[in-house]
Structure 1
Amino acid sequence: MEPLVHIVDDDDAVRHSLRCLLDSIQIESAEYPTGRSFAERERDSRPGCVLLDLRIPDMSGLDIQRSLAEEAQHLPVIFMTGYGDVEASVSAMREGAANFLTKPVNGELLLAEVRDSIERSREILAEHQHCESVCARMSLLTPREADVLEEVVAGWSNKHVARRLGISPKTVELHRANVMNKMRAGSLAELVRLHLTATGESPSSLRNRGPERRR
């Protein structure tokens, strides 16, 4: 999917200059003269980034950045300012801005930052798609298979899982095989990685729940 760079700046000349610069390397861009027009844009999942003026009249650039962190995490933010506001730049970087550039922005530097941000955007989108795929696989598990999955990734043996769940070791083996198949895991190590991707819960935290039966 082709990238799209969002240019958010109330200065018409700046937006035009940035669009021409991006056109020179055949990167599509969209212009927004206000923060609100950007906030009301049509959403999509194209890779890209946001060239964001720090001082937008109708909205704070930092507020726009925070909203992106909630609803469009795949769009890195490159701040631009003509004021050299040190405090704001520190806040922006702490909030996860890709960079903070002072106007007039050096064209080569800006293009390098845009390329890096687009690559990062592609990586974020790929990570999201992978997570969604893994979560979809987990949704196919029966409640008992989900129980077995958690016990297995915590490192318990089949016999131990059987005692904890009150079922036979043979039944555990059957559920375990179904889990491996539905999760498309070729090994226990891969199953653990998939579980961590979907839940963010480490095997050690599961194991530390103790030896009590789950149900």
Structure 2
Amino acid sequence: MIIIEYTNIGRRAQNQDFVLSKKIGGSKALYIVADGMGGYSDGSIAAKIAAEEIANFIIQGKSIPESVLNANAELSRAIRERGVSKMGCCFAGIEVDGYIGNIFWIGDCRVYQFRNGQQIYVTQDHTMIAEMEKHGKVTYSQRERYGHIVSRGFMGSTEDTAEEHKILLLPGDEIMLCSDGLHKTMPIDVLLEMIHLGTLDLKDRNENFDDNHSFIYIKVD
């Protein structure tokens, strides 16, 4: 497989995104992009705990739901130890096992699947806007007002469960995991074209990004 990882601070004072790529034995590998929640304490720590602890529990043989639940317990413990009221993040991940991909996510980080240059799957955001869209059209002013609000987050509660989806992978498929700071600013097909052309250099474009922005690109062989 071809793997590209990237994370950058954007115009923010701190980078609260965290990316993880890890082999977990045999033909299995795990990839996670986590995004610390703005407005809460220690978002960068929450993102790191989410990614690393989920990975640790999956390596131990736990299922994805069990791993998310146990990682939430670790986050809850960190919240108590640090004496903060709230700490959380969003994340998106994929466990690749041969030609099967087990996708899981909370919040507005995304996973895309492309085949022959065409998008064939994308996760659905857990956001207030996404919930509103289920019941009708959303106005521009509503998007401006509620666009940053997630309806589900990873915040140390047993109720913070991840949504899951299984996909079939074929040779040549491309997978993109990214934080909202990337997909809200740059079209993913433009990013893929830069990768294909060998012109990927987002550091020169950092000032175009208001938020932290991160991705993991995977090409299946």
**Structure with a larger share of its residues in strand:** 2
Q: Same fold (TM over 0.5)?
A: no
Structure ID, larger Rg: 1
Q: Which protein, 1 or 2, shows the higher relative CO under an 8 Å CA cutoff with sep ≥ 6? A: 2
**TM-score w.r.t. length of structure 1:** 0.25
**TM-score w.r.t. length of structure 2:** 0.24
**Structure with a larger share of its residues in helix:** 1
